Structure 1
Amino acid sequence: MIMIEGNLERITFQNEENHYTIARLSTGKSNSMITIVGFMAGISPGQTLRLSGNWETHPRYGQQFKIETFEVRLPETIEGIQKYLESGVIQNIGPLIAKRLVRYFGPKTLEIIEQYPERLTEVHGIGKAKARQIESAWKGHHIVRELMQFLQARGIKGSYSALILKEYGEGALEILKNDPFQLAEDIPGIGFVIADTISQYNGAPLNDPKRIRGCIQHLIGQGENDGHTFLPDTNIIDQCRQTFQINPETTAIALKELADKGTVVIEEHEDAQVVKAVYSKELYQAEQGIANRFKALLSVPMPPLSMNPEQITQEILQKLAIQLSSEQLNVLEQILNHRAAVITGGPGTGKTTLIRSVNAIFERLGKLVVLAAPTGRAAKRLSEVVQREAKTIHRLLKYNLKEQRFEINQNNPIDADVIIIDEASMVDTLLLFHLIRAVPVTSVLILVGDVFQLPSVGPGNVLKDIIQSNVIPVYYLKTIFRQAQESPIIVNAHMVRDWNQKGEVPDFQTAKTDDELSEFYFIQKSDPLAVVETIKILCSQSIPHRFNYNPIRDIQVLTPMHKGLIGTINLNQELQNILNPGKNGMEIMGVTYKKDDKVMHLKNNYEKEVFNGDIGTISSIDNQTRQVTVDYEGRTVNYEAEEMHELSLAYAISVHKSQGSEYPVVIVPLLTQHYIMLQRNLLYTAMTRGKKLVILIGTRKALSAAVNNDKPKERLSGLTRRLLLN
């Protein structure tokens, strides 16, 4: 860590929400100017800053000092004090009042404001009301700075200060000192580990009951982030002991107390390896609710069909001008007999064609059908193929952002006879619970998806669990259609999915010569830098020139991880530099955004009607108002600077973020540097995102590791068990 001290000359940029700052500092006897970046509150020109951090090189702005901690020394000279107050750092003190204050009180000006604010009325132009305003502004200014320095002294990012101040106001420091675990309960984004760091720094005992309860809930939440709906009690007790030095007996007592309060649910599994499963109350109710609702649906018999199934099927196929395989025809006729069913199959097996047919048949029978999918992109794709409206599940259930609840629920169910959900592998336990309890028992629920793809980001593995239970009718589509059989992308994807030659590498269908055009390529490169350069050349030159695809709109790089040379962060920077160079942009949180950049929205925003995974292009940037406008396929959405955390560059995105989407061209880097993420279902998911061209770049060793790792990380879930018990 490097220490630097200097005078703050000017603030180039400061985010009012999280205090991310870019500023210029004069240092040393020569007063040489340097750029400093980091989270700093309560600073203004004229102050002396003592900083710790490290030098880094920004690709566009060059060398700058990245701040880890900062300490403010208030100016002591008359000139410094006047410059400090003139900067506007204290509300209600402008240049004129600043001059009068300094002229009257001299070097004691700041001392008077802080300790004797009633004396401010001695200065011409400052009455009692104005003096009170200055006193209040001074206190607020120092609270922010003291809070940030309190956090940074404990090794915690100063950016959290804005969240803490918003929640607690002037009492923030008091809570941090006396009850830091309250933060983890009250403020999203500040978890147990941060609260515990503050608590330990404050000298609190390791066996503090609040600490133990917080630790248990933290571990359950961590398990949910990893996809589990529960954790074994032994895991929680062991992790509390190993990571947080909490006595096992004490943890067991705290677990029982939390269960008695109803915060967690402890369930005994006599028929399984896990003796006691610990759930959050919410996920326990979700699993139980899903199983109960499926039981209710399946208990209501379907009424007799008003027409002969074969007759209506032929009528619909003629109308749609499509042909179905015997496998699909069998599904079509059988599915009319069930209140709930699953259709699963890989690419090219006709899942979407079957959805069109099922939709048309039920409509012909006079039934009201609704189509939905987990994401906006998946819903849009479904709508295009079936040629009728498809909604996101959240929109179908009318999510109320203000009240954070679904307006369509068990008391106000979905107004439809048939509900068809596509891309069901992406649906997590909580979302399925909210969906299924809004399905009337007299309606039909059909889940469609590819069970071999990556599971949902949220907890659970519902499609796999439902299929494994054998309680709900499941229809497997295995036949690859002739047209699909001619696609190297589909053939190679199925080869990966069904691979059973341990230690070997698939012999992919690809171009045999450099002159031959193909839909699939495997380019062997072992050096990460060489992979990055190859991706840049492919995106900027080879693919646009040889295949006539737009480098920004049509090509999508999918990578397993965010960090490293071939992670999303570095690849986005590299691809932005080569595909969208030389334009003035706006830097926010260390990322420069430019007009025409490809960006992705990262979280559902119902006010703006943009959703997690939506990809658009920046159509304009206003540096004066610090506003960015994004074009989402003809629909424009405005973002203020403080909302830009909802966006990221999208030249390269994670494979998880690509689920439910298709792209004309997909490029996938595959190296052993991402060994932990080299899984068969991840590679399979990435390959099946490409419609016209898929290019893998990497080593045979990494490819072998991926195709031979057919056991993705296990997710602990009780849904299969509950379905069987029901």
Structure 2
Amino acid sequence: MTIEVVDPADWRQAASASGPLRTFNEAGVIDAADVHVAQRLAAMSGESDPVVLLAIAFVVRALRGGSVCVDLSTIEAQVGIAELPWPAAGEWLAAVRASPLVGSPTVLRLHEDNLVYLDRYWREEQQVADDIAALLAARASASSPAIEVNRLFPPGYEEQRAAAKIALAQGLTVLTGGPGTGKTTTVARLLALFAEQAQLAGKARLRIALAAPTGKAAARLHEAVQSQIDKLDAVDQQRVRGLQATTLHRLLGSRPDTSSRFRHHRGNRLPHDVIVIDETSMVSLTMMARLLEAVRPQTRLLLVGDPDQLASVEAGAVLADLVDGLGARHDTHVAALRRLHRFGESIGQLAAAIRGGDADRVVEILRAGDDHIEWINAADPTPQLRNVLLPQALELRHAGALGDTAAALATLDEQRLLCAHRRGPYGIAHWNHQVQRWLTEATGEPIWSSWYAGRPVLVTANDYGLGVYNGDTGVAVLDGTNRAATPGALRVVIAGAQEPLKFATSRLSDVETMHAMTIHKSQGSQADDVTVLLPPADSRLLTRELFYTAVTRAARKVRIVGPECDVRAAIARRAIRATGLRSRLQP
């Protein structure tokens, strides 16, 4: 690969860098932020070895990319620029081991002699492994009354029945499966079995918590579990009545003075007998550490998710690590669901082909197309996208102007444009602006303010006071008591876990327009009709996991926008995150 020198005026250029830091920074491999953090940490410990500073910079770079650590023995191959002055891996690791940064106070940590961490992430990863071991040990010593599983998992539910038997025998269970494989059905019926088991043991009514990383995911979890509970007989319904889902932050107890610590922790654990966490692939290492330290050893913890989706935005690949790490143990089992029970058959086939890395099959399915799959393989897809996006924007505008919150929220979930990037011609900023231009042309009403009736919004930061969280979605509507088309007359209705929340626009500062959203932000949600705009083949964000996640957001129809070369590039590139958790969990 050719070294591409960064323009000195570029914001990624670190003027204070020297030696290897400068060389790698000018080549665009590490950013200015990586350099500055490395210099600051080294100065605090009196470290001056340039290769150690380079190692720190790569650790920081790894964290920005979602890894928990960096493997110095493989980083050269991952970067793929052999012309750079790479230190020999053995000498590099020896320099790190000899550094005062691994002394006291500890800044760097090593695991298995080749993984280098910042101290905080090493501690969190070790804590997660220790707490999981404690949960496994606690349930191994417990005994529960035997119950008849077949009653709720009759013929036709073989996979779910096997998963239920695993969960009944363990305190910690990881339940995996793609969309439509019956995860929610399994959870609802399993909760009824847990409740029956507790009743037979003479215990009081179970305290059950349902949670997900975002408000939207929590709302979907509540709706899906309740719909399955409604199908149970009256006795089982009575045992698990009144369940509500919440966000993981709310479950742990958000604190106004800090965003990284919660009211529930090792000294004040959660009181629940059963805790179900959905969309676990979205949970970062740090958040998993906060959850596990708050769970009592005797609590049943059920972690549900799809390990083939994108990992969390923040550092870690916890669900994938749990699947691989626990799957290698003899004292526990991962419950995996694979058979499709719901989902458009062709969408399910497309998702399976992407997950399996079968590019030829993916292209074959896209070319064939049907009522559930459309492929826009055009040099300029703008006209087709206008036909898809403008009708929804007009419906939102109409519902917002009428103050019809139910119609506005329903319309919001009918269609979604998903992009990999935030900026550029393939990014959400461009397409949000484009849709607003089309809206102005179609209505003859210029959008003079950032707030307007029918504006779809995405919450971008947690606000514990308001009870809205990063990833929540909503629509601006005119207040029913004040129909003047001014920002002061608008209210934002947010789709909450139990019921919609309504706020004045002035109270929501961390929101952005959502005619388009990133694929990362779409996790935990679904829309009836999903349009996936693939970035060019050379985009670093274009991976198999990203493509799979985008496709599986569609409930009824998925529309892929991009040429065949981009489709094949997505399937060929894997999103690899460096962690040590799976090795810590393995026997």
Match of 1:350 in 2: 182
Match of 2:564 in 1: 700
2:488 and 2:504 in contact (8 A); partners too:
no
* CA apart distance, 1:222: 2.6
1:503 and 1:704 in contact (8 A); partners too:
no
Task: Provide, for residues 566-616 of structure 1, a one-character-per-residue CA deviation record: whole Å limited to 9, x for no partner.
Answer: 3111111011222365546566xxxx4433211111111112211111111
2:494 pairs with 1:632 = yes
Match of 1:34 in 2: none
Separation of aligned partners in 2, 1:221 and 1:639 = 37
2:389 to 515, 534, 539: 539
Match of 1:370 in 2: 209
Separation of aligned partners in 2, 1:224 and 1:679 = 18
2:377 pairs with 1:524 = yes
Match of 2:17 in 1: none
The aligned length equals: 501
1:604 and 1:611 in contact (8 A); partners too:
yes
* CA apart distance, 1:649: 1.2
Q: Which amino acid aligns with 1:598?
A: P
- Flag the 1:243–1:194 CA change in 2: closer, same or farther, 3 A: farther
1:359 to 168, 188, 191: 191
Q: Which amino acid aligns with 1:630?
A: V
Match of 2:104 in 1: 261
Task: Provide, for residues 199-253 of structure 1, a one-character-per-residue CA deviation record: whole Å limited to 9, x for no partner.
Answer: xxxxx9xx996999987655433311211111245789999xx99999x99x948
Separation of aligned partners in 2, 1:436 and 1:557 = 35
Separation of aligned partners in 2, 1:195 and 1:716 = 20
- Flag the 1:228–1:628 CA change in 2: closer, same or farther, 3 A: farther
1:540 and 1:551 in contact (8 A); partners too:
no
Match of 1:561 in 2: 421
- Flag the 1:519–1:719 CA change in 2: closer, same or farther, 3 A: same
Within-5 A mapping of 1:164-203: 191=33
2:252 pairs with 1:386 = no
Range that drifts further, 395-404 or 351-360? 395-404
Match of 1:606 in 2: 464
1:475 to 321, 327, 335: 335
Within-5 A mapping of 1:3-42: none
Query: TM-score scaled by structure 1?
Result: 0.61
Q: Which amino acid aligns with 2:579?
A: S
Match of 2:237 in 1: none
SS, match of residue 276 in structure 2: strand
1:226 and 1:459 in contact (8 A); partners too:
yes
Task: Provide, for residues 163-203 of structure 1, a one-character-per-residue CA deviation record: whole Å limited to 9, x for no partner.
Answer: xxxxxxxxxxxxxxxxxxxxxxxxxxx956679999xxxxx
Within-5 A mapping of 1:666-681: 666-670=530-534, 672=536, 675-681=539-545
Task: Provide, for residues 503-547 of structure 1, a one-character-per-residue CA deviation record: whole Å limited to 9, x for no partner.
Answer: 9723248656xxxxx12211221x2xx2123211122259999xx
* CA apart distance, 1:501: 5.7
Within-5 A mapping of 1:112-261: 191=33, 219-232=58-71, 252=95, 256-261=99-104
Q: Percent of aligned positions with the same letter in both sequences? A: 26
- Flag the 1:510–1:690 CA change in 2: closer, same or farther, 3 A: farther
- Flag the 1:537–1:359 CA change in 2: closer, same or farther, 3 A: same
- Flag the 1:288–1:552 CA change in 2: closer, same or farther, 3 A: closer
Rg larger in structure: 1
Separation of aligned partners in 1, 2:373 and 2:72 = 47
- Flag the 1:504–1:521 CA change in 2: closer, same or farther, 3 A: closer
Task: Return 5+ residue gaps in structure 2 as ranges.
Answer: 1-8, 13-31, 199-205, 227-242, 396-406
Match of 2:521 in 1: 657
1:423 and 1:660 in contact (8 A); partners too:
yes
SS, match of residue 676 in structure 1: coil
- Flag the 1:197–1:582 CA change in 2: closer, same or farther, 3 A: farther
- Flag the 1:253–1:290 CA change in 2: closer, same or farther, 3 A: closer
Task: Provide, for residues 245-298 of structure 1, a one-character-per-residue CA deviation record: whole Å limited to 9, x for no partner.
Answer: 99x99x9489822222334232252xxxxx343212211111111111111111
- Flag the 1:490–1:235 CA change in 2: closer, same or farther, 3 A: closer
- Flag the 1:192–1:349 CA change in 2: closer, same or farther, 3 A: closer
- Flag the 1:503–1:480 CA change in 2: closer, same or farther, 3 A: closer
Separation of aligned partners in 2, 1:348 and 1:215 = 46
- Flag the 1:623–1:192 CA change in 2: closer, same or farther, 3 A: farther
Q: Which amino acid aligns with 1:493?
A: A
Q: Which amino acid aligns with 2:318?
A: V
Bigger strand fraction: 1
Separation of aligned partners in 1, 2:57 and 2:357 = 38
Q: Which amino acid aligns with 2:353?
A: M
Match of 1:272 in 2: none
Separation of aligned partners in 2, 1:609 and 1:211 = 46
Separation of aligned partners in 2, 1:285 and 1:425 = 21
Separation of aligned partners in 1, 2:431 and 2:312 = 25
Separation of aligned partners in 2, 1:509 and 1:488 = 12
Q: Which amino acid aligns with 2:185?
A: T
2:339 pairs with 1:487 = no
* CA apart distance, 1:674: 5.8
Q: Which amino acid aligns with 1:724?
A: Q
Query: TM-score scaled by structure 2?
Result: 0.74
- Flag the 1:504–1:339 CA change in 2: closer, same or farther, 3 A: closer
2:317 to 461, 475, 486: 461
Separation of aligned partners in 2, 1:212 and 1:583 = 59
- Flag the 1:261–1:619 CA change in 2: closer, same or farther, 3 A: farther
1:349 and 1:479 in contact (8 A); partners too:
yes
Separation of aligned partners in 1, 2:11 and 2:393 = 45
Separation of aligned partners in 1, 2:553 and 2:310 = 12
Q: Which has the higher contact order (CA 8 A, sep 6+)?
A: 2
2:531 and 2:561 in contact (8 A); partners too:
yes
Query: In angstroms, what is the RMSD of aligned CA positions?
Result: 4.1
1:497 to 328, 340, 355: 355
Separation of aligned partners in 2, 1:497 and 1:625 = 45
